[in-house]
Amino acid sequence: MDDGRKHRSLRQLPAVHELAADLGVPHRLAVRAARQAIEERREALRRGEADAAAEPAGGLRARAHELAAQLGRPSLRRVLNATGVIVHTNLGRAPLPDAARAALADVARGYSNLEFDLQRGQRGSRHNHVESLLCELTGAQAAMVVNNGAAAVLLAVAALAGPGRAVLVSRGQLIEIGGGFRIPEVIGQSGARLVEVGTSNRTRLHDYRQALETEGAAVAAILRVHQSNFRAVGFVEEVAVGPLCELGVPVIDDVGSGVLHASPELRDEPAIADSVAAGAALVCASGDKLLGGPQAGLLVGRAEAVAAARAHPLARALRIDKLSLAALEATLRLYRDPAQARIQIPVLAMLTASAQELDERAARLRELIGGEAAELVRASARVGGGALPLLELEGPAVALSSHLPAERLAEALRRGEPAVIARIHDGRVLLDPRTLSDDELPAAADAARRALEAAGDAG
Is residue 54's pLDDT more than 60? Answer: no
Cis peptide leading into residue 294 (ω within 30°) = no
Average pLDDT over residues 306-324: 97
Is residue 42's pLDDT more than 80? Answer: yes
Average pLDDT over residues 102-123: 96
Is residue 172's pLDDT more than 60? Answer: yes
pLDDT digits (tens, 9 = 90+) for 259-273: 997 777 787 889 999
pLDDT digits (tens, 9 = 90+) for 384-409: 877 777 788 999 999 998 888 999 99
Q: Which amino acid is at 185?
A: E
Between 115 and 2, residue with greater pLDDT: 115
Q: How confident is the model at residue 315 (pLDDT cuts 50, 70, 90)?
A: very high
What are the distances in angstroms from CA 434 to CA 37, 270, 347?
Answer: 40, 24, 10
pLDDT digits (tens, 9 = 90+) for 227-271: 866 667 778 899 999 999 999 999 999 998 889 977 777 878 899
Buried/exposed 358-374: b ≥16 CB within 10 Å, e otherwise: beebbebbbebbeeebb
Average pLDDT over residues 440-453: 95
DSSP for 318-341, written as a single string: TBPPHHHHHHHHHHHHHTTSHHHH
- The pLDDT of residue 104: 96
Q: To the nearest whole number, what is the mean pLDDT of the chain?
A: 91
Query: What domains can you pick out in the chain, each with its CATH number?
Result: 3-71 (no CATH), 79-89+349-454 (3.90.1150.180), 98-341 (3.40.640.10)
Least confident of 209-213, 262-266, 324-328, 422-426: 262-266
- The pLDDT of residue 2: 62
Average pLDDT over residues 98-102: 98
**What pTM does this model have?**
0.91
How many Cβ atoms from other residues are within 10 Å of residue 251's Cβ?
26
- The pLDDT of residue 252: 98
Between 249 and 182, residue with greater pLDDT: 249
